[in-house]
Structure 1
Amino acid sequence: MAYRAREGIAPADVALAVVVQRMVEADAAGVMFTANPTNGRRDETVVSAAWGLGESVVSGAVTTDDVVVTDGRVMSRTTADKAVMTVPTGDGTVERPVPDADRGRAVLSDDDAVALAALGARIAAHFGAPQDVEWAHGPDGFAIVQARPITALPEPETAPPTDWSVPDNALYARASIVEQLPDPLTPLFEELIDPAVAHSLAALMHELLGEDAVRDGDVGLPTVNGYAYYRYTRSAMWRMTAKTPTAMKLLVSGGAQARWHARAHPAYAAAVARWADRPLDALSVTDLLHGVRFLLDAGTSYYTAVQTIIPIAASSEVLLTRFYETLVRRDGDPPAATLLLGFDSAPIRAERSLYGIAEWARGDARLVATLLGPGAADALLDPAHPVGGVDADVWREWTARFHAHLAAHGHTVYNLDFANAVPADDPAPLLDALRFFLRGEGADPVERQRRSATRRDELAASVRERLDPLRRKVFDRLLAWAQSAAPLREDALADIGLAWPHLRALLREIGRRLVSAGVIPTEDDVYWLRSAEILAADPVDVEPRKALWRGRRRATPPGLLPQGSWWDLMERFMPTATTEQSGPVIRGIGASAGQVTAPARVLGGPADFGRMQAGEVLVASITTPAWTPLFAMAAGVVTDVGGPLSHSSIVAREYGIPAVLGTAVATRRITDGERLLVDGDAGTVTLLDSTDTPAAATPERRPSWPGLLIGAAAVAAVALAVRRARL
């Protein structure tokens, strides 16, 4: 009755069936799942067995034997110590102790388990879906008592990988691009991205460091267990290290910024424009695939150019922070990050745009009610068909404003792998963020930015007043450099996905044609093919590839490979921990100061945006500029990947919320609703509801700011500035 009420089923609409079955005088009984409920694998049958009637199994009164059968063979078994069994009496049942000789004896032989699994396979085939089967074994053999569909069966997945060996003597690092690629790569993206990165990296190195900096085969972006790694041969690493003085000259000269602004970005925009308006139905699959490669190459070249911008923002902030913390800051002074707040950047402009749409929409109560309702994105954004009785002119204006927002900001990526949607082709997450503003739960971003700028300018003025002329001169130089560079990283990263809406449109067209040809069942399966399979157009079963991807996603990839070498010394500079953590305290990088106690909201991706509630701690693998609207709702931020100069930290500081990044394990250790104490100063997340005891050994973490090398660089730079000031 409670179930009917919850599901809205009227009592008059149902009929009660009474099943009368002959009692099986069972010497053994149990439950059988014709698909593994733990990992979702459809080729594994899991059988649980106990002595006596099945009542003790269903009630949980006894620990069962468990057998896993695959392809007619027992793959694994666990034999339990079965203390009790249920047996029939003249007028019911009773629990009795299992004879000592049977307590540790297997209920089913291998042959019995295989025979039972075969029955299960026939039942699943009959109903066309995996089944939860209750069985009994009596004098006449096996009897099936009940069969019903398995509920909440996970998607099938393989076991997570444990072997992280590499095929050569090169050095592998999950750096820089890891913030855009936190998951295993899908097959088509994996195939196309490696040569694209190798080409763009080599071209950049040749231009900036000379033709001898890298050679063919020196660099690339291969995968290990599906995860992307930058790969450098050891000889290339030493050659590039020798070029460090040349790279430093570029860093301080401003050449990288000019190159990005005057060359890299215009070239990328021009490449995208070449494919923006082509009629896709007039192109062959070969042409479409060529377009995918062309746009991916253009995007990769742009991203490689952006990597010359990131060190400028990073170095300028680190140097200013070191100087401020060492020679300027007094007790009670705000942190150095305050000096870099309140500037405009692409994510902030996107947030202002969305907030402005919400403010305009609030002028029409019927429009607000419609947008806060359950309508699908397609219906809510169709200008020709108003919904919910909204005036036609108001509706056209609403859709025009939102589509203009998508045109300007809809290319920001949640994940660089092109199998993941962008807002332009899946605006549902943006609508969820808009609803937050419509409910009045978000602060005005214009006012927040104004307050940040005021605090920034007041701190800078107070610092200048108390410094002697020499330190003031150094402070002014460092401050001017850091403030000019502060928006660069976010502006540069925001346009990485400029080609992605068009690139994904090409792939959707390929997918549509392959579905029509019977090659794949759904358009999105195109991402699980390889280019040769697309061109061959022969049917391909991609489900095993998806299962492999899901299993790999449960792994924690090491930041550096091979493990156990001198290369591990660089681990402290990586954007994620590589050590598993246990106990109630998770350690990461304190990237935005402050403390907060609040419930967790674990988001697997943009499809979960609608679950976020105001005042919760945002827990995610990564956050990119496309996640920025959620920061207005969050009480704090915790990520698996990231550091003090990543997008998460920059935006968290702008919003004044604590952030702990680079934990590696947050999304696997933290559950929705769990109370967290996020300490952005200490770089810790305490699981307040945890019953775990602290780990015996605390995993070593990197310092909040990259340590010895950057510290030495900061000291050297300040010393140089002071020396020049004295001349």
Structure 2
Amino acid sequence: MIEYTLPLAQTKASIEMVGGKGMSLSKLLTAGISVPDGFHVTTASYRHFVEINHIQPYINKMLEEIHFTDSAQLEAASAQIGLLFHRGKMPEEVTAAIQSAYAGLGSIPVAVRSSATAEDLPEASFAGQQDTYLNILGESQVLDAVKRCWASLWTARAIAYRMKNNIKQEQVSIAVVVQKLVFSHGAGVMFTQNPINGRRREMVINAAWGLGEAVVSSLVTPDTIIVDKNTGRIVSYKAAYKEIMTVRTSNGTEEVSTPAKLRKKHTLTGDQVVRLAQLGKKIETYYEMPMDVEWAMEKDKLYIVQARPITVLPPEWVLPEKDVIYTKGSLAEHLPNPVTPLFATLGLGIINRASALLWADMFDKSAKKLLPRNGAYTVINGYVYLSAKSKPLLIAAKSLSPRALRKTLTNSIPRWKAAGKEFGTVVKEWEEKPLHGMSAHQLMEGIQSVFFAACTYFTRIQLTLPAASLSEALFTKLFTGTVRRAGITNTSVFLLGFDTISLQSEKNLWKISEWAKKNNSLNHYLQNNSTINIERDTMSPAVPAGVTEEVWGEWKNRINLYFKEYGRTAYEFDFSYPTPQEMLTPTLESIKSFMEGKGDSPFLRQSVYEKQRKQAEDATLKLIDGTRKKLFLKLLNWAQETAPMREDAIYLMGLGHPLIRSMFREISKRLMGGGAILQLEDIYWLTKSELDALVIQLDKNMLLTDLKGGIPARKAEFKKFQGYVPPSRLPEKNENTLLHVPQNRKDGKIILKGIGTSTGVVTAPACVVHSPADFEGFKPGSVLIAVTTTPAWTPLFSLASAIVTDIGGPLSHSSIVAREYGIPAVMAAHNATRTIQSGQMITVDGAAGTVTISG
């Protein structure tokens, strides 16, 4: 006999019959957890409805030619499918079963919840893809809500998710849970392990007034309560200002303003928190896994209305040493992604050796009191952190002493140039040595010498760059009012248009594009080929069809000269990433963009900025005289002299990276020949000790140790690290980090808030770029979304319509270059790279510091 409905307490309920949510609720009842009474509308009811209304063949046909990235087609198909369900006739036997089960509840107000057969599983993440309807009263409303839940199996989002994850559309099914509606005065969610910092011993509870929809949908900032799971002690209770709440109405629910007396009041008492935590602990023990639990409270009685496994739990950010502060500052900013095993073991050791010298120079004998046991930099969960012992007064006293300030702020440009010259000398010395004739040991010596020179250079510019930042900050602080009276709204106009290496690089690309446009055959070839094909042909000895050998030779000569001059830098300080000399795509895209008229002439832009700068200076000088005029000119000259240094100094950080990677490549070829690794890039997945042992074996012509087997697991771990969101500071300043941070919304659109650093408003598709590996997919006119950028990323700016980064500020590279290019920029948008998806239409407002996600 086919069972179209089942009691909620049915012990034999399976996922195939009642879906993930339904089975979870049945399990909770079996475990003695307080769950509102109700019944299941089984998947048999859904299948019977779909079958007699002949719906599945229509669905299959509609979805045949649709790709999961085509949101417009998916939405249209979803709407058509929804109509099929709306117009479909409910089978009499299904109607009778639902009516009987509903009458058994007493025909009371109920919650009607979707329960798909593939949701709420430990290995899946379907949460929230199907619909829930609250405060449903009466047989006809319940039957209609059931049909709407069935139709929600075919939302555009759910269809796309299944397509993307290769889940066959015809194999999915859905059940529905009908439950007594809890008339809750408070509700929320509970995580039995902390999903923000990964702490297994902490439970986190979010609570707000009314029904739980406002919390689940992130419409309200809820109270956040942290409970020590082992002791049951309330670690912290942060009461939020709860502006809205979800309440019952005569025909459903709605969001209303929270009464003034409740807005700042704790939603839960201490006793209620303890009882809720005990329930959470019981549920976790029963399921034997961390759980995400939705709860409601009616007249001091707690109910569990849903429990699902936490599918993605972040790592616990365990501190290597106590009383040490770890931040993503200084060199760690230039390492935004997880690092490879070789960089973590070889590169970091060299960085720490150079940093120890800097600390000794900066802090004298106090360096030992401040430097952690593991060194200035350490790796936590794959990410590099700057570390220092927690002695803020000592750090401030030493950093701000007259001696330290003189050392940092005087003669900054000559000191930077001297550091760059010494670094360049080391690179040139090793570049002149033939790689093929060197032993593996000599190559390793060269790698370490050049990288140590790069790290030493970085430590030395740490004592020159503050002059650039301070000069601009002082000038802005003291003369913003004056320049506004002169009709100038942005003081950055005084610092734009100087001939930095990045600008010289862009001007060189402009010249190449102008030359290429004059050669018809080359122009036709470049305009009609993808940058991937052009890159392949440029690196090949063959001449492409349709281009003369003479013109092609000149093209390659110009490109090679460009990369010899401007490709000696790094996209990221981790030497495992390819350099611009190896990855030509961004540069070629810039050339093509210039040829197609999509980019402005850098010569013209510089000329305009020079004119605006002169006008701004003249207009301001007319308003001041005497001592104030002298101070203005002194600070202006200081800022204008040091501003280009900031950009150029960082550009040169990667001067040795192309050579380092060439030397690694030479060793890697020998390791591949001996069977130690499979691919050239596999060398970066070895540790220093493993590579050291292989180098000895190479030079002694010994049989090489086969290390191919361990590399896939390391790559898999690296991929796992890429999914983490590294805290900017450890231990975290705010232990009460909100879990359901309400994203600002306007007209249904999500709005991210950051720091506006370059004015203007642009609406365009987003392109999320995590590393150089993503550069190929960057389309001209897109908004560049990145964790941060370095000067080597500058070619992307000529293609971008705006820039948004997770970290940074007004003086960061991204801000400076965005202002130079005249495109809007928003920095410090926190998890923009995780929140925004490539292809989404977004609006960047550089003045307001907002990013609006349209869809």
Instruction: State the TM-score, normalized to the length of structure 2.
Output: 0.61
8 Å CA contact retained: 2:450, 2:660:
yes
Equivalent in the alignment of 2:729: 560
2:821 to 652, 655, 678: 655
Equivalent in the alignment of 1:50: 16
Q: How does 1:275-314 map to 2 (within 5 A)?
A: 275-314=430-469
1:371 maps to 2:526: yes
1:167 to 320, 324, 332: 320
The code of the aligned residue for 1:411 comes to R
Matched residue SS, 1:678 = strand
501 and 621 in structure 1: CA distance in 2 versus 1, 3 angstrom threshold: same
Q: How does 1:290-369 map to 2 (within 5 A)?
A: 290-330=445-485, 332-369=487-524
What whole-Å deviation, never above 9, does each CA across 1:507-552 have from its counterpart, x for those lacking one?
2222222323333322212111102222243324222222222222
Work out the CA distance in 1 between the residues paired with 2:606 and 2:778.
Answer: 23
Work out the CA distance in 1 between the residues paired with 2:833 and 2:601.
Answer: 30
Work out the CA distance in 2 between the residues paired with 1:89 and 1:190.
Answer: 58
Unaligned runs of 5+ in 1: 1-24, 28-47, 53-61, 68-79, 114-129, 137-157, 572-576, 690-727
Structure number, greater radius of gyration: 2
What whole-Å deviation, never above 9, does each CA across 1:439-481 have from its counterpart, x for those lacking one?
2211110010110111011001100011132221111111011
1:258 maps to 2:427: no
The code of the aligned residue for 1:288 comes to L
Work out the CA distance in 1 between the residues paired with 2:51 and 2:488.
Answer: 80
Work out the CA distance in 2 between the residues paired with 1:223 and 1:180.
Answer: 14
What whole-Å deviation, never above 9, does each CA across 1:361-399 have from its counterpart, x for those lacking one?
111111122223146355432585321221211111111
Q: Tell me how many residue pairs correspond in the alignment.
A: 573
8 Å CA contact retained: 1:637, 1:652:
yes
Instruction: State the identity as a percent.
Output: 33
Unaligned runs of 5+ in 2: 4-13, 25-39, 57-90, 102-112, 124-164, 172-310, 695-704, 745-749
Work out the CA distance in 2 between the residues paired with 1:323 and 1:456.
Answer: 18
Matched residue SS, 1:426 = coil
Equivalent in the alignment of 2:44: 84
What whole-Å deviation, never above 9, does each CA across 1:264-283 have from its counterpart, x for those lacking one?
11221121123214333333
8 Å CA contact retained: 1:358, 1:434:
yes
Deviation at 1:611, TM superposition (A): 3.8
Work out the CA distance in 1 between the residues paired with 2:557 and 2:524.
Answer: 19
1:242 to 375, 382, 398: 398
8 Å CA contact retained: 2:22, 2:115:
no
132 and 451 in structure 1: CA distance in 2 versus 1, 3 angstrom threshold: closer
Matched residue SS, 2:485 = coil
Matched residue SS, 1:541 = helix
Deviation at 1:107, TM superposition (A): 9.8
8 Å CA contact retained: 1:412, 1:423:
yes
626 and 26 in structure 1: CA distance in 2 versus 1, 3 angstrom threshold: farther
Work out the CA distance in 1 between the residues paired with 2:494 and 2:332.
Answer: 28
Of 204-213 and 594-603, more deviation after overlay is shown by 204-213
Work out the CA distance in 2 between the residues paired with 1:26 and 1:389.
Answer: 71
1:414 to 562, 571, 576: 571
Matched residue SS, 1:376 = helix
Work out the CA distance in 2 between the residues paired with 1:211 and 1:135.
Answer: 71
Equivalent in the alignment of 1:198: 352
Work out the CA distance in 2 between the residues paired with 1:619 and 1:301.
Answer: 31
Deviation at 1:350, TM superposition (A): 0.6
Work out the CA distance in 2 between the residues paired with 1:26 and 1:302.
Answer: 76
Of 529-538 and 370-379, more deviation after overlay is shown by 370-379
Deviation at 1:677, TM superposition (A): 2.3
512 and 384 in structure 1: CA distance in 2 versus 1, 3 angstrom threshold: closer
1:387 maps to 2:554: no
Work out the CA distance in 2 between the residues paired with 1:682 and 1:381.
Answer: 43
Q: Which has the higher contact order (CA 8 A, sep 6+)?
A: 1
8 Å CA contact retained: 1:171, 1:234:
yes
8 Å CA contact retained: 1:159, 1:551:
no
Deviation at 1:400, TM superposition (A): 0.5
Matched residue SS, 2:16 = strand
1:546 maps to 2:699: no
8 Å CA contact retained: 2:483, 2:489:
no
647 and 135 in structure 1: CA distance in 2 versus 1, 3 angstrom threshold: closer
The code of the aligned residue for 1:230 comes to L
Matched residue SS, 1:431 = helix
Work out the CA distance in 1 between the residues paired with 2:719 and 2:742.
Answer: 21
8 Å CA contact retained: 2:766, 2:841:
yes
1:458 maps to 2:615: yes
RMSD over aligned Cα, in angstroms? 3.8
Deviation at 1:335, TM superposition (A): 0.5
521 and 371 in structure 1: CA distance in 2 versus 1, 3 angstrom threshold: same
Equivalent in the alignment of 1:230: 386
Of 667-676 and 444-453, more deviation after overlay is shown by 667-676
8 Å CA contact retained: 2:782, 2:801:
yes
Q: How does 1:81-160 map to 2 (within 5 A)?
A: 82-84=42-44, 86=47
Deviation at 1:288, TM superposition (A): 2.7
2:854 to 688, 703, 708: 688
Work out the CA distance in 2 between the residues paired with 1:610 and 1:82.
Answer: 48
Work out the CA distance in 1 between the residues paired with 2:757 and 2:384.
Answer: 24
The code of the aligned residue for 2:489 comes to P
Deviation at 1:235, TM superposition (A): 4.8
Work out the CA distance in 1 between the residues paired with 2:767 and 2:341.
Answer: 30
Matched residue SS, 1:282 = coil
Equivalent in the alignment of 1:582: 743
Matched residue SS, 1:412 = coil
Matched residue SS, 1:271 = helix
Work out the CA distance in 2 between the residues paired with 1:397 and 1:232.
Answer: 53
562 and 280 in structure 1: CA distance in 2 versus 1, 3 angstrom threshold: same
Deviation at 1:679, TM superposition (A): 1.8
Q: How does 1:172-191 map to 2 (within 5 A)?
A: 172-191=326-345
Deviation at 1:351, TM superposition (A): 0.6
Runs of 4 or more, structure 1, over 6 Å off, are 62-67, 87-90, 92-96, 98-101, 103-108, 130-136, 577-581
Equivalent in the alignment of 2:770: 604
Work out the CA distance in 2 between the residues paired with 1:380 and 1:433.
Answer: 17
65 and 519 in structure 1: CA distance in 2 versus 1, 3 angstrom threshold: farther
8 Å CA contact retained: 1:205, 1:211:
no
Work out the CA distance in 2 between the residues paired with 1:473 and 1:348.
Answer: 30
Instruction: State the TM-score, normalized to the length of structure 1.
Output: 0.71
Work out the CA distance in 2 between the residues paired with 1:610 and 1:443.
Answer: 22
Equivalent in the alignment of 1:477: 634
Deviation at 1:65, TM superposition (A): 9.0
Equivalent in the alignment of 1:529: 686
429 and 677 in structure 1: CA distance in 2 versus 1, 3 angstrom threshold: closer
Matched residue SS, 2:762 = strand
Deviation at 1:336, TM superposition (A): 0.5
Work out the CA distance in 2 between the residues paired with 1:354 and 1:324.
Answer: 37
Of 171-180 and 278-287, more deviation after overlay is shown by 278-287
Work out the CA distance in 2 between the residues paired with 1:611 and 1:105.
Answer: 37
8 Å CA contact retained: 1:433, 1:610:
no
378 and 326 in structure 1: CA distance in 2 versus 1, 3 angstrom threshold: closer
Deviation at 1:134, TM superposition (A): 11
Equivalent in the alignment of 1:437: 594
The code of the aligned residue for 2:324 comes to A
680 and 382 in structure 1: CA distance in 2 versus 1, 3 angstrom threshold: closer
Of 366-375 and 434-443, more deviation after overlay is shown by 366-375
Work out the CA distance in 2 between the residues paired with 1:350 and 1:105.
Answer: 57
The code of the aligned residue for 2:690 comes to E
Equivalent in the alignment of 1:629: 795
581 and 491 in structure 1: CA distance in 2 versus 1, 3 angstrom threshold: farther
Work out the CA distance in 2 between the residues paired with 1:232 and 1:167.
Answer: 12
The code of the aligned residue for 1:672 comes to S
1:207 maps to 2:167: no
Work out the CA distance in 2 between the residues paired with 1:503 and 1:81.
Answer: 64
Work out the CA distance in 2 between the residues paired with 1:431 and 1:212.
Answer: 50
